[in-house]
Structure 1
Amino acid sequence: MTVRSWVTWFIDVTTKTITGSAITPCHPSWASILAVLRAAVLRIGPDGPAGGITP
């Protein structure tokens, strides 16, 4: 049985940096999409300082 995984990512188009990403084994739920969005906007965590809103 094959499983189709989904990749959800947010990219900063100016710097071409992936600011948040997630791989889910099935169709992503709203919770997983919002978690990736949160990771993309926060400037702390394992993804480093890329992300957030610059003044």
Structure 2
Amino acid sequence: MRNDVFDVYPQYGNKNSGFHYMLDTVKLFNGKYTLKVVEIGSSWRTNNQTKGHNNK
């Protein structure tokens, strides 16, 4: 539960915001990868976050 997010955005009425994901990089070939997370708001506006990762 993310009460900190709910406190800032109470209009969404959702205390279950946020996410968690474990990526098992052992199954990936060695090399550079980019992970992209896209959030879609109630007005269908999007926000993107990208993170590079070098799998060795």
User: Quick check: which one's strand share is greater?
Assistant: 2
Normalised to the residue count of structure 1, the TM-score between the two structures is 0.32
Question: Who wins on radius of gyration, i.e. which is larger?
Answer: 2
